Copies of this chain bind each other. A is one copy, B any other.
Amino acid sequence: MKTQKLLVIGGVAAGASFAARARRLSEQAQITVIERGPDVSFANCGLPYYIGGEIPERKSLAVQTAASLKAMLNLDVRTRTEAIAIDRTAKRVLVRVLDSEKEEWLDYDRLMLSPGAAPVVPETPGIDDPRIFTLRDLGDMDRIAAAAQPGMRAVVVGAGFIGLEMAEQLHRRGLTVEVVQIGQQVLSLLDAKLAGMLEDELKNNHIDLHLGEQVVRFESAEKELLCHLTSGAVLPADLVIMSIGVRPESRLAKDAGLTLGERGHIAVNDFMQTSDPDIYAAGDVVETRERTMGGQIAVPLGGPANRQGRVAADHIFLAEKARPYPGSLGTAIVRVFEMTAGTTGFNESGLKKSGIDYDTVTVRDFHHASYYPGAKPLNLKIFWEKGSGRLLGAQAAGQEGVDKRLDVLATAITAKMHIDDLCHLELAYAPPFGSAKDVINIAGFTATNMHDELLEVTSDFPDASADVQLLDVRPNAISNMTPVPGAINIPYAALRSNLDKLDPKKPVVAFCFVGKNSYFASRLLAQHGFKVKSLAGGLSVNNRQKSISC
- Secondary structure at chain A's binding surface: helix, strand, loop or mixed? mixed
- By a CB distance below 8 angstroms, the chain B residues around A520 are 24, 72
Which of B49, B291, B430 lies in contact with A372, CB distance below 8 A? B49
Please judge, given known A-B contacts A55-B373, A412-B411, whether A431 and B331 are in contact too, CB under 8 Å.
Answer: no
Asked if residues A441 and B60 are in contact (CB atoms below 8 Å), the reply is no
Complex CA–CA separation, A302 to B13 (angstroms): 43
A35 at the interface (CB under 8 A from B): no
Instruction: Please give, as numbers and ranges, the residues of chain B lying within 8 Å of A528 by CB-CB distance.
Output: 27
Q: Name the one of B56, B342, B371, B428 contacting A46, with C-beta atoms under 8 angstroms.
A: B371
Considering the chains assembled together, what is the distance between the CA atoms of A440 and B119 in angstroms?
A: 31
CB-contact partner of A436 in B303, B445, B524, under 8 A: B303
Q: Are A430 and B307 in contact (CB under 8 A)?
A: no
Residues of B within 8 A of A307 (CB): 423-424, 437, 441
Instruction: For the complex, give the distance between the alpha carbons of A491 and B481 in Å.
Output: 68
Shortest distance from the beta carbon of A526 to any chain B beta carbon, whole Å: 9
The answer to the question of A420 belonging to the interface, with a C-beta cut-off of 8 Å to chain B, is yes
- Pick from A95-103, A219-227, A399-407, A463-471 the stretch touching chain B: A399-407
Compute how far the CA of A514 lies from the CA of B465 in the bound complex, rounded to whole angstroms.
65
Query: Who on chain B is nearest to A371 by CB?
Result: B60
Closest to A523 in B: B24
A174 interface contact, C-beta 8 A: no
Cβ distance A358 to chain B, nearest Cβ, rounded Å: 20
Q: Tell whether A332 is near chain B: CB-to-CB under 8 Å.
A: yes
Cα-based distance from A528 to B28 in the complex (angstroms): 10
Instruction: Annotate A432-457 by CB proximity to B: 1 below 8 A, 0 otherwise.
Output: 11101110010001001000101000
Report chain B residues within 8 Å CB of A56: 373
Contact among B24, B43, B428 with A403 in the assembled complex (CB-CB below 8 Å): B428
Q: How far is the CA of A339 from the CA of B141 in the complex (A)?
A: 36
A412 is contacted by which of B305, B328, B415, B431 (Cβ under 8 Å)?
B415
Binary flags per residue of A501-530, CB closer than 8 Å to B gives 1, else 0: 000000000000000000010011001100
Give min CB distance, A412 to chain B, whole Å. 6
> If A305-B436, A427-B331 touch, does A26 touch B492 (CB 8 Å cutoff)?
no
- Whether A437 and B342, one on each chain, are in contact in the complex, defined by CB atoms closer than 8 angstroms, is no
B72 and A303 contact, CB distance less than 8 A? no
| Min C-beta distance of A341 to chain B, whole Å | 10
* A275 interface residue (CB < 8 Å to B): no
A321 within 8 A of B: yes
Most buried by B among A321, A369, A445: A369
Are B426 and A291 in touch, CB under 8 angstroms? yes
Assuming A24-B454, A403-B433, what are 14 further A-B pairs, CB within 8 angstroms? Answer: A24-B520, A45-B369, A45-B430, A54-B373, A55-B431, A61-B371, A302-B436, A303-B441, A304-B426, A307-B424, A328-B426, A331-B426, A335-B430, A406-B427
Can you list 19 A-B contacts with CB-CB less than 8 angstroms, sorted by A residue number?
A: A24-B454, A25-B523, A46-B369, A55-B431, A60-B370, A60-B371, A61-B371, A301-B429, A302-B429, A303-B437, A306-B436, A307-B423, A323-B448, A328-B426, A332-B430, A403-B433, A404-B404, A410-B428, A415-B421
Q: Which residues does A use to contact B, with CB under 8 Å?
A: 13, 24-28, 43, 45-46, 49, 54-56, 60-61, 63, 68, 71-72, 74, 161, 165, 291, 301-307, 310, 318, 321, 323, 325-326, 328-335, 340, 342, 344, 369-373, 402-404, 406-408, 410-412, 414-417, 420-421, 423-434, 436-438, 441, 445, 448, 452, 454, 492-494, 496, 520, 523-524, 527-528
